[in-house]
Amino acid sequence: MHFKTRTKAQSFIEFALVLPILLLVLLGVVELTLFVGAYINLVDLTREAARFASIRDPFAAGSYGDYSCSTTADFNFFWDTACIFSPLYNQSDPACVSSPFCNGFNSTLAIKPAEDDILISVFTETGVNVNGTIVPQITDNAATNPWVWSDYDLDSDHNANWRRNCNRLAIPTPPNPAFTADTMQSYMESSAMPNKGFVVVETLYCYHQVLNIPILAQFLPNPIPIHTYTIMPLPAAQPTPTPKPYP
């Protein structure tokens, strides 16, 4: 009888020692699931934004001063593409009704004007035949390179978020967008067909840990930066050859 009592006490002590570790692992799995869910949502939104832009013309005449996601009369290629990341229109939410950044596809994540950013770039590739080899020549055709959402939203105190980390500290060496003319140039195959157009949508998002487990802060930053991007063909950005004069 004495032996059984001692065995039970030992089991309770072992369980008490293991329980915190089990809880920590469980909470870590929950936090990881939430993080992966946020990442997948951002990937999907980036793809939807790139698809939206790929069938539209960034050079068409229009009102480029229209910075509202709800207007239908005017079209702004860059702003309206970024609107894909805005929350769903909710008539019962006065903040959404009065906000110019509403009426999009985003029902799960809030794009934060003080931290997050959306970059949109347009590239034109022109091939030149030299000794049977196609040499791509890429030029930037965005309004700026890249077009930056945080420079055009209503939060004038937090511009160029992509040049800061998630704690609003300036990065010693300011980053370039992941896709520049040189980057796109390096990806082109010399044997590829010339005269193409591309649109690139990049998202920089600061994920704040929901559970905020203290011990995880020793290994992971909080917030955690997430970078997603999508490249899509853009027929409207293809170079138009100059018609040959009649002989």
pLDDT band at 111 (very low <50, low <70, confident <90, very high): very high
Most confident of 15-19, 39-43, 103-107, 169-173: 39-43
> In the prediction, which pLDDT does 80 show?
92
pLDDT band at 130 (very low <50, low <70, confident <90, very high): low
- Residues 123-134: what's their mean pLDDT? 63
pLDDT band at 6 (very low <50, low <70, confident <90, very high): low
Number of neighbouring beta carbons within 10 Å of residue 116: 24
Q: What are the pLDDT digits (tens) for 36-45?
A: 999 999 999 9
> In the prediction, which pLDDT does 244 show?
46
> In the prediction, which pLDDT does 155 show?
86
> In the prediction, which pLDDT does 199 show?
92
d(C-alpha 99, C-alpha 88), whole Å = 12
- Residues 113-141: what's their mean pLDDT? 73
Q: Distances from the Cα of 96 to the Cαs of 88, 91, 215, 240, in angstroms?
A: 8, 7, 37, 41
pLDDT band at 186 (very low <50, low <70, confident <90, very high): confident
> In the prediction, which pLDDT does 242 show?
47
Residue in 157, 235, 244, 148 with CA at minimum distance from that of residue 197: 235
d(C-alpha 184, C-alpha 139), whole Å = 10
More confident residue, 145 or 47: 47
More confident residue, 190 or 29: 29
Classify burial at 112, counting beta carbons within 10 Å of its beta carbon; exposed 0-12, middle 13-18, buried 19 or more: middle
**Per-residue pLDDT for 107 more than 80?**
yes
> In the prediction, which pLDDT does 243 show?
46
